[in-house]
């Protein structure tokens, strides 16, 4: 365990004592959000991102140690364990290295070498590899011919017959070829050479066919430099049968390296060994090295893509809520009509309908009349338009319609990713049993504008869809990563225990689906919870779950003003003493006039001195001060607000050099897609993001950011716009 802790500390560039503390807390069953928020003193303030990376590596390294033990035990049981093998296994850093060491001792399926061994040709192979024998090898090989010694029955079985001296030599060389391919040091050096010098080459499978992969129809790039998005694009092109992929290796160097190690001067064995080395490489080593390199590149590319999904999803989930507004959800479509749902400021459904302003019906006037009537009746403030099919036409219709509205109405384009998944889900059926599936999508779009987090947690994180090659990556890893992102986001914001849905509650630290449903049931039967302690009356929510969840659950208008904050019940006493020290009590937090005074007094606190007086950690005290300064504050208020539009831009309206304001919709390896109000998002390539060199677009922008961009190129035919942030 000591070795694992040291490795993680080095990889994450943190202290070993921080890793030890975090591992202990994880092993005790504490959740990552709880450790990150309420055990800062113990871990030295490790963030949720670092703790998740730590947990992932801990899992991998523990599996690695377990596999090492299994391999050593298996080799030992075969009576072949040596100090050298023990040493090699001990220093192996990856599962692939351990498997390379174990390869010669694995029980093999039938191969040319196992057949040769069964014929008794191993001693002949030893003679050849030693290269000491001066007697012609053909003469020695004759001693292994066994056809005259076999029964008529055995002669029928080719796997038992050595018919000629040439057959005997061939079998012996097969054994040598397999031994070469099983040698861990060769495989290690070959992989090292490949990662340093190999090229990944792609050719078109169907050169005459147009596709998204045309840039790869005749392409090559060094393995060590190829970025992850190109790996995933090549993989997909190969899967869809547009590309053939090959790893071009430094074969001459590889063969020369093995020859230097095996061949001992000029002997009768030199040429046959050279040919055997080549056979071993081409037939046995190269195919498996290809698989390993491709698999390794893919795994790294997937990990990077999953990280990008996570970052983008977090930004989307933490999007600024639009509070206190009545919203019309507008789910665009063609033939089946645009679905409309109006919800009040609390998210309650007021009205719904279907209108047909788009093709084929084109009932613009009828749709306008009906929606203007609803805007007036329900006092609609904003319209949230889904960004899917027919979004552009719907936007033009809405922009035109609101000019005639009797009240000021703006519209916002909202990502509708996953809305259809939600509409048909069991959860949506429970929420709106009497509402048509298609209308539920419009409700979801409207609610996403009001509170992105509360709405998006109802959807499988994978359906949110902000990234690249989402369906090409390891789905289990993606799911685990995105679930972690949702947990961190929910716990960062906090949850109103009296209004939250079971979906939202289930992501709170320490609360599973069953407890989430039990909280809602308890709430329905007993009325609103007045304090956090009441949670202990909820079935299955025991002391352990309470410790994990209490600080993340908010109780507005309850018995204790501290419970609108993230102050944990374990720190109530310290928080009250702190307020006493500056001449206030917790009830003063409800008084807006006194709150300003409290804020000013808290700014003057000497954290080091006060922490000692209160016998509390400095980081915890700092958190308490922040919470008391802004009780009930939503951290999402600091996020960029959606761009409110009242008019529409066409691609034809754009001119090179135009400067526009847009919303970052997606961040990928090579840049970011920005919604500037035309049908398709424009691309800001990484080279156009900053005058300084940047490695990763995420250094500059996040999903949801509002950015100023300049139009630098317009491709009318392909409906593409290139943008620059270098203004």
One domain for residues 253 and 295: yes
Lowest-pLDDT choice from 56-70, 386-400, 598-612:
386-400
One domain for residues 516 and 556: no
Lowest-pLDDT choice from 92-96, 468-472, 481-485:
468-472
Q: What is the CATH number of the domain that holds 689?
A: 2.40.50.140
One domain for residues 486 and 630: no
Q: Please check whether residue 608 lies inside any domain of the structure.
A: yes
Query: Taking 80 as the threshold, does the pLDDT of residue 470 lie above it?
Result: no
In this prediction, residue 692 carries a pLDDT of 87
In this prediction, residue 53 carries a pLDDT of 93
Q: Please check whether residue 59 lies inside any domain of the structure.
A: yes
Buried b (16+ CB within 10 A) or exposed e, 69-105: eebbeebeeeeebeeebeebbeebeeeebbbbbbbbb
Into how many domains does the chain fold?
A: 5
Query: Taking 90 as the threshold, does the pLDDT of residue 291 lie above it?
Result: yes
Q: Which residue has the higher pLDDT, 506 or 319?
A: 506
Query: Taking 70 as the threshold, does the pLDDT of residue 275 lie above it?
Result: yes
Query: Taking 80 as the threshold, does the pLDDT of residue 469 lie above it?
Result: no
Collapse the DSSP code of 318 into the 3-class scheme (helix H, G, I; strand E, B; otherwise coil) and give the result: coil
Q: What is the mean pLDDT of residues 99-108?
A: 88
- The CA-based angle 696-699-703, given to 5 degrees, is 100
Q: What is the mean pLDDT of residues 332-355?
A: 92
One domain for residues 209 and 155: yes
In this prediction, residue 381 carries a pLDDT of 94
Q: In this structure, are strands 720-724 and 682-685 parallel, antiparallel, or unpaired?
A: parallel
Q: What is the CATH number of the domain that holds 343?
A: 3.30.420.140
Cα 81 to its chain centre, rounded Å, is 40
Residues 6+ apart with CB under 8 A from 69: none
One domain for residues 358 and 434: yes
Per residue in 656-703, pLDDT (tens digit) is 888 888 888 888 888 999 988 777 789 999 999 988 888 888 888 888
One domain for residues 513 and 403: yes
CA distance 532 to 534: 5
Most distant CA pair in the chain, distance: 109
CA distance 546 to 128: 72
Query: Taking 70 as the threshold, does the pLDDT of residue 725 lie above it?
Result: yes
Q: Please check whether residue 322 lies inside any domain of the structure.
A: no
Q: Please check whether residue 439 lies inside any domain of the structure.
A: yes
Q: Please check whether residue 415 lies inside any domain of the structure.
A: yes
CA distance 519 to 538: 6
Structure confidence at residue 172 as a pLDDT band (50, 70, 90): very high
CA distance 5 to 10: 9
pTM above 0.75, yes or no: yes
Q: What is the mean pLDDT of residues 323-339?
A: 93
Q: What is the CATH number of the domain that holds 99?
A: 1.10.10.650
Q: What is the mean pLDDT of residues 537-551?
A: 96
Domain's final residue, options 583, 617, 638: 638
In this prediction, residue 68 carries a pLDDT of 95
Q: What is the mean pLDDT of residues 622-634?
A: 91
Q: What is the CATH number of the domain that holds 556?
A: 1.10.150.310
Per residue in 348-387, pLDDT (tens digit) is 899 999 999 998 999 999 999 999 999 999 999 999 998 8
CA distance 711 to 682: 9
Domain's final residue, options 270, 304, 338: 304
* 160 contacts 260 by C-beta, under 8 angstroms: no
Query: Taking 80 as the threshold, does the pLDDT of residue 467 lie above it?
Result: no
In this prediction, residue 648 carries a pLDDT of 63
Residue closest to 187 by CA, chosen among 120, 84, 104, 303 = 104
One domain for residues 68 and 53: yes
CA distance 297 to 590: 56
One domain for residues 83 and 11: yes
Q: What is the mean pLDDT of residues 198-218?
A: 92
Q: What is the mean pLDDT of residues 173-191?
A: 94
Query: Taking 80 as the threshold, does the pLDDT of residue 649 lie above it?
Result: no
Lowest-pLDDT choice from 397-411, 595-609, 655-669:
655-669
Q: Please check whether residue 646 lies inside any domain of the structure.
A: no
Domain that holds residue 89: 2-105
One domain for residues 171 and 128: yes
Q: What is the mean pLDDT of residues 93-114?
A: 89
Per residue in 228-251, pLDDT (tens digit) is 889 999 999 999 999 999 999 999
Q: What is the mean pLDDT of residues 11-40?
A: 96
Q: What is the mean pLDDT of residues 311-330?
A: 88
Per the structure block, which two tokens stand in for 718?
């392909």
In this prediction, residue 676 carries a pLDDT of 84
Q: What is the CATH number of the domain that holds 164?
A: 1.10.3500.10
Q: What is the mean pLDDT of residues 270-291?
A: 95
Per residue in 135-146, pLDDT (tens digit) is 999 999 999 988
* 510 contacts 31 by C-beta, under 8 angstroms: yes
Question: How are strands ordered across the β-sheet holding 349-355?
Answer: 349-355, 338-343, 327-331, 382-386, 410-414
Per the structure block, which two tokens stand in for 219?
């392409």
Mean pLDDT of the chain: 90
Q: Please check whether residue 316 lies inside any domain of the structure.
A: no
One domain for residues 37 and 73: yes
Domain's final residue, options 89, 105, 121: 105
In this prediction, residue 462 carries a pLDDT of 77
One domain for residues 140 and 38: no
In this prediction, residue 466 carries a pLDDT of 60
Q: Please check whether residue 146 lies inside any domain of the structure.
A: yes
The angle, 0 to 180 degrees and rounded to 10, between the axes of the packed helices 618-629 and 592-603 is 150
Structure confidence at residue 468 as a pLDDT band (50, 70, 90): low
In this prediction, residue 56 carries a pLDDT of 93
The angle, 0 to 180 degrees and rounded to 10, between the axes of the packed helices 607-614 and 618-629 is 100
One domain for residues 361 and 399: yes
């Amino acid at each position: 365990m000591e070795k694992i802790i040291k490795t993680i500390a080095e990889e994450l560039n943190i202290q070993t004592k921080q890793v030890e503390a975090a591992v202990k807390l994880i092993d005790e069953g504490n959740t990552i959000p709880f450790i990150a928020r309420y055990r800062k003193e113990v871990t030295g303030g490790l963030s949720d991102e670092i703790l998740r990376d730590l947990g992932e590596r801990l899992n991998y390294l523990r599996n690695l140690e377990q596999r090492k033990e299994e391999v050593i035990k298996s080799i030992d049981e075969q009576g072949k364990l040596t100090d050298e093998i023990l040493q090699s296994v001990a220093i192996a850093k990856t599962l692939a290295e351990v498997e390379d060491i174990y390869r010669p001792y694995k029980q093999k399926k039938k191969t040319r070498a196992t057949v040769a061994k069964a014929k008794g040709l191993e001693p002949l192979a030893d003679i050849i590899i030693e290269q000491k024998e001066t007697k012609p090898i053909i003469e020695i090989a004759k001693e292994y011919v066994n056809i005259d010694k076999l029964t008529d029955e055995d002669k029928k079985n080719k796997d038992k017959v050595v018919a000629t001296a040439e057959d005997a030599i061939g079998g012996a060389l097969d054994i040598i070829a397999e031994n070469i391919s099983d040698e861990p040091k060769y495989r290690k050096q070959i992989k090292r050479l490949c990662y340093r010098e190999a090229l990944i080459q792609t050719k078109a499978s169907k050169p005459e066919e147009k596709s998204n992969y045309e840039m790869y129809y005749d392409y090559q790039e060094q393995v060590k430099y190829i970025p992850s998005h190109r790996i995933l694009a090549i993989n997909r092109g190969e899967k869809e049968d547009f590309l053939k992929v090959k790893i071009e290796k430094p074969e001459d160097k590889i063969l020369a390296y093995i020859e230097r190690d095996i061949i001992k001067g000029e002997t009768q064995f030199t040429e046959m060994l050279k040919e055997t080395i080549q056979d071993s490489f081409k037939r046995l080593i190269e195919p498996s090295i290809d698989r390993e390199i491709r698999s390794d590149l893919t795994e790294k590319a997937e990990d990077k893509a999953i990280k990008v999904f996570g970052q983008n999803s977090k930004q989307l989930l933490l999007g600024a809520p639009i509070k206190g507004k009545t919203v019309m959800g507008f789910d665009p479509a063609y033939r089946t009509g645009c679905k409309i749902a109006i919800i009040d400021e609390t998210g309650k459904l007021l009205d719904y309908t279907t209108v047909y302003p788009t093709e084929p019906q084109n009932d613009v006037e009828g749709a306008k009349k009906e929606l203007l009537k609803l805007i007036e009746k329900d006092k609609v403030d904003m319209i949230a338009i889904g960004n899917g099919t027919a979004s552009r036409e719907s936007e033009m219709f809405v922009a035109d319609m609101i000019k005639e509205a009797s009240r000021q109405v703006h519209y916002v384009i909202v990502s509708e990713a996953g809305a259809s998944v939600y509409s048909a889900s069991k959860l949506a059926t429970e929420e709106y049993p009497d509402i048509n599936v298609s209308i539920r999508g419009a409700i979801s779009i409207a609610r996403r504008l009001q509170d992105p987090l509360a709405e998006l947690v109802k959807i499988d994180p994978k359906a949110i869809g902000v990234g690249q090659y989402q369906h090409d990556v390891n789905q289990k890893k993606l799911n685990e990563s995105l679930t972690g992102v949702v947990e961190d986001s929910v716990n960062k914001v906090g949850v109103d225990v009296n209004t939250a849905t079971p979906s939202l509650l289930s992501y709170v630290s320490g609360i599973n689906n069953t407890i989430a449903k039990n909280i809602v049931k308890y709430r329905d039967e007993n009325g609103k919870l007045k304090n956090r302690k009441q949670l202990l009356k909820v079935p299955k929510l025991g002391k352990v779950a309470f410790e994990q969840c209490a600080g993340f659950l908010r109780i507005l208008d309850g018995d204790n003003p501290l419970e609108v904050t993230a102050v944990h019940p374990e720190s109530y006493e310290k928080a009250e003493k702190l307020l006493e020290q500056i001449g206030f009590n917790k009830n003063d937090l409800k008084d807006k006039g006194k709150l300003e005074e409290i804020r000013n007094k808290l700014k003057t606190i000497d954290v080091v001195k006060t922490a000692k007086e209160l016998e509390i950690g400095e980081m915890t005290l700092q958190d308490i001060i922040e919470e008391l300064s802004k009780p009930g504050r939503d951290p999402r208020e600091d996020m960029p607000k959606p761009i409110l539009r009242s008019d529409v831009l066409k691609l034809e309206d754009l001119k090179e050099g135009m400067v526009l304001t847009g919303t970052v919709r997606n961040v990928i390896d090579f840049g970011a897609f920005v919604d500037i109000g035309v049908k398709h998002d424009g691309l800001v390539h990484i080279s156009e993001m900053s005058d300084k060199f940047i490695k990763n677009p995420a250094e500059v922008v996040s999903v949801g950011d509002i950015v100023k961009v300049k139009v630098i190129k317009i491709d009318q035919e392909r409906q593409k716009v290139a943008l620059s942030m270098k203004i």
